[in-house]
Structure 1
Amino acid sequence: MKIDFEHRQSAHCESGVTSNLLRQASGGKITEPLAFGIGAGLFYAYIPFISINNGPAIAFRTMPGWIFKRTCKSLGIPVVRKKFSSREQAETYLNDRLNEGQPVGCQVGVYYLSYFPKEYRFHFNAHNLIVYGKEGDNYLISDPIMETPTTLTSYELERVRFAKGALAPKGQIYYTKFEGEISDDRIRQSIKSGIKRNVFNMLSIPGPFSGVKGIRFTGNKIKGWRDKLGLEKAKLYLAQLVRMQEEIGTGGGGFRYIYAAFLQEAYAYLPQDELLEISKQFTTAGDLWRTAAIHAAGIYKGRLGSQQDFDAMGNYLLEIAEIERKAFIALKNIKWRT
């Protein structure tokens, strides 16, 4: 069984899966940046009381699954989502959908993905891919971050669908059921609601750990890591920051670049000059995240390591926090003309 499905490489797994699954339903209108922005994908959180890979939990995007859920809900597209306790039931359900000609999204663990380079495999269970067919014992896989389609054996796919640990996918499968047309007016309204949600998430969530406050909180914490944790553990914490940005994110603050592209594409539906100007601010933030990652790599690889180096790293994040704060305030203050 092989579904007529076009693989397209994307910058990020979930926004890529979302745009690829919605391509037919939207007539190609919903691109990856639009899916990311409508789904309010941009975020930041530093959660010191949750440990992942022996470091603090750090996120550069919203919770797994929310981009797909929010985008579809905003566009009026019904979603089917299932989790399973039985591996046999999970495989049967997947095969039934493929036999119906339905490509499906799956949440999987990264560690056992055989087509990933070994240096990119570690215990992270919120990766997303599309299954679009089966030939013999091989499932046909469209992983949006890969250049070409690939395959997984039935054993390999089961293993990653039922990976253990934090954010365990539990065989999660999701897809859309939609017959109709998505109007440009519906897309315009969805763009505005996505921006409104992202503004709230980055500016108004209470507490110091999330949004621009979370970036500022992390910057100040980094300045004290060397003395509080010792150099070696502080280096591991910085490695965690870069890993979550570069390997689980899209590289060099790539989520900020995707959001900048979203605002540029939004301009075609809502032609207000503010969107283009604010887009430039997010590109600047993405560039600075990249610079910060390079500086952090210098520390955890031992080329740098003084207190001044940690102070400089912290100051990068404080500067980023201010850039993103101003950008989201500017988005909040837009007076929509349509």
Structure 2
Amino acid sequence: MKVLSQWIDVHHIGSHCASTAMRTIFLGYGYAFSEDLCFGLGSGLGFTYQKYQSVDYYFFTGRNDSLEENAVGILGGYIETKRTDDPIVGWQWAKQWIDLGVPVILDLDMMYLPYMKDKLQIEQSFHFGLHNAILVGYDEEKSVAFLLDYLWNDVIEVSLKDLENARNSKTSPIKPDNGLKAIVLPKGQRDINLIINEAIRTNIFRMKRPFAFKMGLPGIKLFAREIRMWNKLLPEKERQTHAYMASMLFEKVGTGGGNFRRMYARYLKECATLTGNQQYLNSYKNYMELFRCWRQLAKLFELGAIDPNTGIFADDPEIEIFLEKMVDLEYKALENLEAIISIKEVMTC
């Protein structure tokens, strides 16, 4: 039996699985960072709108796909990321890190975690292989593992069989592949002004120049145009499926739209306090407005999932106006943030 109480003691409820896991791990290393600061230092703001070949619905997320790598790199730490289709090998990798006293972030299909299904009250089958929880211990004699998850303050006991099923899910269109991340951070912390500046510059670059199609700002623009064409291109049942999955990913399980804008807004508000630069408060207001826009959009998808001729699919010109406003605000919010960074760099030179 091995349990890492150092991380159990500092863990508490958060708003998103990955950023909560980062906050808990960072706190365990002595970094007194909020969840929002962890998200921002990971250049967390993003957008992805993709239809993968193996997935029968559109996949959405409002964050970047290298949150942990960005944050750990900017702090000068070490991160090991591994994946395998062999659950035995995957478990041995995780155990080795626990035995060394290092917690491990796991990729999981939440439908195989009984505690998660009960908590979220998921009515339809929703296999999602990118949920994150922290492995902080195990007891092989009792065949259980100990997890920290973002919606619970206390440690959760899970059977090793359920954990294996969640890590090795073949049902999830986006498979977890027994993925894990182990993080080690240095004792000394870099200057907060420098890392905030670097993180924001990285985020601006990735939003303006994403590395793949239908990502970042160009992806948001294309997304807003294409979703209004679904009612012309897709049969009703398919429209409802896409709308249901979008509403789930945007708010309930993926927290893919509004919550990420709210987290980034709170990060910018924290930046104003940490750096003394009050201009960040204007950007804070921009992203809080975007938070409300994305939450409203999630509601429109939810209505469209119930009735394929209402909500996002309704024949209403006001929806077009709303989507145009949201896209414009995404561009303007980033432009304003870029101006703050540019002015700061000129003043520093």
Q: TM-score, normalised by structure 1?
A: 0.89
Secondary structure class of the residue paired with 1:11: coil
Distance 2:248 2:320 in 1: 17
1:45-83 per-position Cα deviation (integer Å, ceiling 9, x unaligned): 22246463x2222222212xx111110001101122333
| Aligned residue among 46, 57, 65 for 2:59 | 57
Structure 1 residue 308: Cα displacement: 4.3
The answer as to 2:290 corresponding to 1:289 is no
Q: Provide the residue aligned with 1:88 in structure 2.
A: 88
| Aligned residue among 256, 260, 271 for 1:255 | 260
Secondary structure class of the residue paired with 1:116: helix
| CA distance 1:331–1:134, change in 2 (3 Å) | same
| CA distance 1:112–1:178, change in 2 (3 Å) | same
1:176-220 per-position Cα deviation (integer Å, ceiling 9, x unaligned): 22342213x1x3222112111221222233787222332222222
| CA distance 1:99–1:222, change in 2 (3 Å) | closer
Distance 1:218 1:314 in 2: 12
The answer as to 2:148 corresponding to 1:177 is no
Identity, % of aligned positions: 23
| CA distance 1:80–1:203, change in 2 (3 Å) | closer
How many residues get paired?
332
Distance 2:207 2:268 in 1: 16
Checking the alignment, whether the CA contact within 8 Å between 2:221 and 2:327 is kept in structure 1 is yes
Checking the alignment, whether the CA contact within 8 Å between 1:292 and 1:313 is kept in structure 2 is no
| Aligned residue among 122, 125, 130 for 2:129 | 125
Q: Provide the residue aligned with 1:104 in structure 2.
A: 104
Q: Provide the residue aligned with 2:68 in structure 1.
A: 68
Distance 2:212 2:185 in 1: 39
Checking the alignment, whether the CA contact within 8 Å between 1:218 and 1:314 is kept in structure 2 is no
Paired AA for residue 318 in structure 1: E
Paired AA for residue 176 in structure 2: P
Checking the alignment, whether the CA contact within 8 Å between 1:221 and 1:314 is kept in structure 2 is no
Q: Provide the residue aligned with 1:41 in structure 2.
A: 44
Checking the alignment, whether the CA contact within 8 Å between 1:295 and 1:313 is kept in structure 2 is no
| Aligned residue among 238, 243, 253 for 1:238 | 243
Which ranges in structure 2 are unaligned for 5 or more consecutive residues?
none
| Aligned residue among 16, 20, 27 for 2:20 | 16
Paired AA for residue 158 in structure 1: E
Distance 1:310 1:210 in 2: 27
| CA distance 1:50–1:192, change in 2 (3 Å) | farther
| CA distance 1:318–1:201, change in 2 (3 Å) | farther
| CA distance 1:29–1:199, change in 2 (3 Å) | same
Secondary structure class of the residue paired with 2:107: strand
Q: Provide the residue aligned with 2:31 in structure 1.
A: 28
Distance 1:154 1:86 in 2: 15
Checking the alignment, whether the CA contact within 8 Å between 2:61 and 2:255 is kept in structure 1 is no
Distance 1:288 1:259 in 2: 14
Q: Provide the residue aligned with 1:279 in structure 2.
A: 284
Checking the alignment, whether the CA contact within 8 Å between 1:216 and 1:317 is kept in structure 2 is no
Paired AA for residue 152 in structure 1: V
Q: Provide the residue aligned with 1:224 in structure 2.
A: 229
Secondary structure class of the residue paired with 2:137: strand
Structure 1 residue 301: Cα displacement: 1.3
Q: Which moved more, 1:109-118 or 1:276-285?
A: 109-118
| CA distance 1:301–1:192, change in 2 (3 Å) | same
Structure 1 residue 225: Cα displacement: 1.8
| CA distance 1:309–1:116, change in 2 (3 Å) | farther
1:291-311 per-position Cα deviation (integer Å, ceiling 9, x unaligned): 122222222212962864465
| CA distance 1:100–1:157, change in 2 (3 Å) | same
